[in-house]
Copies of this chain bind each other. A is one copy, B any other.
Amino acid sequence: MTKPDAWGESLAECRRLDREDLLTPLSRQFLIARTLIYLDGHSLGPLTRSASAAVQRTVRGEWGPMIIGGWNEADWIGLPARTAARIAPLIGATPEETACADSVSVNLFKLAAGALALRPERGTILMVEGEFPTDGYILQGLARLRPDIRLKTVPAPELTQALDSDTALLVSSHADYRTGALADLRGLSQAAAAVGALSLWDLSHTTGLAAIDLNEAGADMAVGCGYKYLCGGPGAPAFAFLARRHHAGFLNPIAGWMGHARPFDFEANYAPATGADRLMAGTPPILSMAALNAALDLFDGVAPQALLARSRALSSLFERLTAPMAKAHGFTLVSPADPERRGGHLAYTHPEGYPIMQALIAAGVVGDFRAPDLIRFGFSPLVVSRSQVWTAAKTFASVMENGLWRDPAFSQRQKVT
């Protein structure tokens, strides 16, 4: 039980800190109800004014009047490269090393299949246990296509030890989708390189949240999501990174025309574009990509270093405010207790996690649930304020202390999140 006095005091302090925080004004970019406490930016970022306007402009101002002419007049053909160039500084890459295309799943396939061709004498893909499912599925599918390749899965702490002279590729998420725990991007990239293996990172849960420096880390390849912290909209196009040193040798196995050196010459034979733009395949979904491109306005003039620091301050506040209640009600924090080892979300296990999260959502605090028993609270640094975290913690306590989650309406099996 938390004392009313303690809550009251800390809310005033939260409000004061919010007022002083230089990132606070950026939250006005979001078209989000002020009564909603949105702790699910790690699943889907909210709509920005800029993205909304860009989609409207692309539909009514470009597709409508220009039709086919939009490819030239509105430079749709340059939209993937323009968007990639805005993502590049968020991941420590050059524009030439970054492509915006397809989904995380498809990009992971391209890079992993291409990586195997760069290490033809090696037969193992090493993957972290508990990796985000689609990453594992994609690699399983690739292994079916290449029966000479073995997919080896080990727990995160054993990755470095499992690297050996047969390892062609190491695949890992930067932040674990369940716990938010950060992997050692630099250490693992270097360890892979030391045995001659390539590294392929899934940055879905850190891009737009943390200051990532792929080139400083020595990473070879990466994929990442456009619809989480980047706020590009549901199913926004994903991105892919290919380090410059691989540009000469890398072939995209999905050799579509948009990755061709001269797509509009209609040549009979494939010739890859010079940089990471060879990672493109088919015609990009312009409406969805226009939203992503405009959402990236969020990061103009923001120091990436400030983002994770604020997110960690928010998650630490939530953890601290809810700790006594969480302990009393049987929650287990599965995220690292040390904020320095976390990404943008906190996760707890609880056998009744599903109805508890539904009750929280009904009370205006939107986190999410991952089967079988995980609830997650995300702290998007541009979306969430300290005073919202305070209110969320109070609501969480109220839902548990009053048993609101026991209402049968909250127990029905969800369709999706």
Determine the distance from Cα of A291 to Cα of B144 in the docked complex, in whole angstroms: 35
A116 to chain B minimum Cβ distance, whole angstroms, is 9
In the bound complex, residues from chain B placing their C-beta under 8 Å from that of A33 are 65
A28 on the B face (CB < 8 A)? no
In the bound complex, residues from chain B placing their C-beta under 8 Å from that of A142 are 253
**Which of the segments A85-93, A279-287, A306-314, A341-349 contacts the partner chain?**
A279-287
Asked if B138 and A254 sit within 8 Å, CB to CB, the answer is: yes
A414 on the B face (CB < 8 A)? yes
Asked if A282 and B71 sit within 8 Å, CB to CB, the answer is: no
In the bound complex, residues from chain B placing their C-beta under 8 Å from that of A105 are 254, 256-258, 281-283
Within 8 A of B (CB), among A267-285: 267-270, 281-285
In the bound complex, residues from chain B placing their C-beta under 8 Å from that of A77 are 415-416
Asked if A104 and B282 sit within 8 Å, CB to CB, the answer is: yes
In the bound complex, residues from chain B placing their C-beta under 8 Å from that of A216 are none
The answer to whether A370 and B71 touch (CB under 8 A), given A237-B285, A288-B287, is no
Determine the distance from Cα of A69 to Cα of B287 in the docked complex, in whole angstroms: 21
A251 on the B face (CB < 8 A)? yes
A60 on the B face (CB < 8 A)? yes
Asked if A260 and B133 sit within 8 Å, CB to CB, the answer is: yes
Contact with B along A180-202 (1 / 0, CB 8 A): 00000000000000000000000
A176 on the B face (CB < 8 A)? no
Asked if B67 and A32 sit within 8 Å, CB to CB, the answer is: yes
Size range of the chain A interface in the assembly: 35 or more
A70 on the B face (CB < 8 A)? yes
In the bound complex, residues from chain B placing their C-beta under 8 Å from that of A140 are 255, 269-270
**Which of the segments A4-12, A43-51, A315-323 contacts the partner chain?**
A43-51
The answer to whether A414 and B287 touch (CB under 8 A), given A141-B252, A282-B102, A282-B104, is no
A392 on the B face (CB < 8 A)? no
Which of B227, B236, B266, B289 has a CB less than 8 Å from the CB of A133? B266
Determine the distance from Cα of A252 to Cα of B105 in the docked complex, in whole angstroms: 12
The answer to whether A289 and B235 touch (CB under 8 A), given A59-B56, A414-B72, is yes
Report the nearest B residue to A223, measured CB to CB.
B282
In the bound complex, residues from chain B placing their C-beta under 8 Å from that of A38 are 67
The answer to whether A267 and B133 touch (CB under 8 A), given A52-B60, A138-B256, A282-B104, is yes
A233 on the B face (CB < 8 A)? yes
A249 to chain B minimum Cβ distance, whole angstroms, is 13
In the bound complex, residues from chain B placing their C-beta under 8 Å from that of A291 are 59, 287
A40 on the B face (CB < 8 A)? yes
Determine the distance from Cα of A375 to Cα of B183 in the docked complex, in whole angstroms: 54
In the bound complex, residues from chain B placing their C-beta under 8 Å from that of A263 are 133, 416
A265 on the B face (CB < 8 A)? yes
Determine the distance from Cα of A20 to Cα of B77 in the docked complex, in whole angstroms: 40
**Across chains A and B, which 7 residue pairs bring their CB atoms closest together, nearest first?**
A103-B282, A141-B255, A105-B256, A105-B282, A285-B288, A134-B257, A234-B286
Q: List 16 A-B contacts (CB under 8 A).
A: A32-B64, A56-B56, A59-B233, A69-B361, A71-B415, A102-B282, A104-B283, A105-B258, A113-B145, A134-B257, A137-B269, A140-B255, A141-B255, A234-B285, A235-B286, A287-B291
